Structure 1
Amino acid sequence: MLFKTPLLDKPAPGWKRDLPGPNEPPSIEPYPAVLTNPPNHVDDVYLELARATMRVRGVGILIGPFLLLLSMIPPLIWIVLFRATENIPSLAFYFFGLFAFIAPLWAGIHIWKMDAEAPRDEPIRFNRARRKVYVYRFRHNGLKPFSRSAWGARAEVYDWDNLHAEACSIYGAMGSGGSIQTVTLAVLEPGTRKVVDRFHFAHDIQQGEMYWAMAQLFMQQGPQALPSFPRPPRDWNNEKIRFNLARRLAPKVHWPEAIDLESRSAPSMHD
């Protein structure tokens, strides 16, 4: 069932529609031929799906150095004008020059780090035995471009029953105009519609619906309910990368040991 009005107290930006809840029937049947990637792993305990907040890698790492060079133009103009005229320019000139220096400098650093420091994959694991979801998330903060604590991948754990999927469409500054379509997952306060966290799940609404349907089928019925994929899983950490410098620099996926073990296992009598 697809809902025409937002179910959550605070819908996602660009909300288009809500997808069925975790324990409701899927709204669409997964079709492997149109899905970008097969599951990274599937067995009786957990399903791991590939995920990436960055849809295209390799562009930012080229634009970043260009913007950094662009930021050097205002200081050079200041020096040349001062040496040529020996006059102090107006305050407005300095203000504009300072903005022209800071804006491309910040943008260049941010774009570079977004492209080069995002991990090769940001997988999400659905553990059927524990009814938990484990998300390998890339955190970033544009206001703190040099902070180590504000940037990097972290593993987070959520209850399956507290997740809610939303299809979104935001008009973006694209070459010919158009919309950026995504499916996001909201984390709800138990028993309420209050959103306590939200993260990206998939690019393209159709693919996002199918991946969400796969998660629903797995968590509700088990691996036998999933379609078979003609292609083998992609080894994100050990793939051969030749020309994409951003992917070559990207960190490999490394789950914290305790969460890695928990996310791949069923609870024991001692848990």
Structure 2
Amino acid sequence: MLFKTPLLDKPAPGWKRDLPGPNEPPSIEPYPPVLTNPPNHVDDVYLELARATVRTRGVGVWLAVFFLLLSIIPPFMWIAIFRTTGDIPSFVFHFFGLFAFIAPIWGGVYIWRMDTSAPRDEPIRFNRARRKVYVYRFRHNGLKPFSRSAWGAHPEVYDWDNLHAEACSIYGAMGSGGLIETVTLAVLEPGTRKVIDRFHFAHELQQGEMYWAMAQLFMQQGPQALPSFPRPPRDWNNEKIRFNLARRLAPKVHWPEAIDLESRSAPSMHD
């Protein structure tokens, strides 16, 4: 079921339409041949889907190197002017020179970390027995490109019934350029339409809608409702990476032990 006006009090940026709720019938039937990746894992308890906030990896590292090389131009210009004229450049020259030195370093470090610090996969687990969703979220902060605490994977746990999927479409100046289509998941305050959190779910509307439909089918009916995939799951942590420097440097997926156990198991009598 599709809606013409946003259901949430604050729709996602670039909102295009709302997708069916967690316990509503899917709007589309998953078709494996058009999906980028098969599920990482599926059994009677949980379904794990691959996910990535950074769509293209490997270009940013070389762009970062270019930015860092740009940062050495102002010091060389200052030295060249001093040696040629013997005069100390003006305050205005210092101001703009300092900006031209800091900006490329700042941007280069940010682009480098975006390309290399994101995990090889950012999986999302749908636990049917617990009706919980476990998200391996990569968090980053462009205002703190040198910070350790502001960057890294931080698993989050949400209630399945509090999720809401939205199809979004925005124009981007970089990356894939032009129109960028994604599906995001909003976390709602129980019993309301108030958004308390939101995160990326999938690139491209058709794929995102199909992956959301897979999650719905699994949570509503179980693994038998999912289609079969011709390809085996991808081993993100141990895949052979030859030429993509960003993926070679990217950290492997490592769930905290307690969350890993909980997300893969059904509740016991003592829970």
The equivalent of 1:80 in structure 2 is 80
Matches within 5 A, 1:15-30: 15-30=15-30
The equivalent of 1:3 in structure 2 is 3
Structure 1 residue matching 2:192: 3-state secondary structure: coil
Structure 1: state its 5+ residue gaps: none
Cα gap change, 1:176 to 1:218, in 2 (>3 Å): closer
Q: TM-score, normalised by structure 1?
A: 0.97
Matched, 1:107 2:93: no
The equivalent of 1:257 in structure 2 is 257
Structure 2 residue matching 1:229: 3-state secondary structure: coil
Segments ≥4 residues shifted beyond 3 Å: 174-177
Q: What is the number of residues matched between the two proteins?
A: 271
CA-based RMSD:
1.2
1:98, distance to aligned residue in structure 2 (A)? 1.7
The equivalent of 2:31 in structure 1 is 31
- The one-letter code sitting in structure 2 at the alignment partner of 1:169 is S
The equivalent of 1:196 in structure 2 is 196
Matched, 1:120 2:154: no
Cα gap change, 1:175 to 1:233, in 2 (>3 Å): closer
Q: TM-score, normalised by structure 2?
A: 0.97
Which piece of structure 1 moves more, 109-118 or 91-100?
91-100
The equivalent of 1:98 in structure 2 is 98
1:88, distance to aligned residue in structure 2 (A)? 2.9
Cα gap change, 1:83 to 1:173, in 2 (>3 Å): same
Aligned partners of 2:200, 2:62: CA distance in 1, in Å?
25
1:209, distance to aligned residue in structure 2 (A)? 0.2
Structure 2 residue matching 1:227: 3-state secondary structure: coil
Deviations 1:50-102 (Å, cap 9, x if unpaired)?
00001111001111111101111111111211221122323322222122111
Structure 2: state its 5+ residue gaps: none
Aligned partners of 2:226, 2:25: CA distance in 1, in Å?
14
Aligned partners of 1:174, 1:155: CA distance in 2, in Å?
28
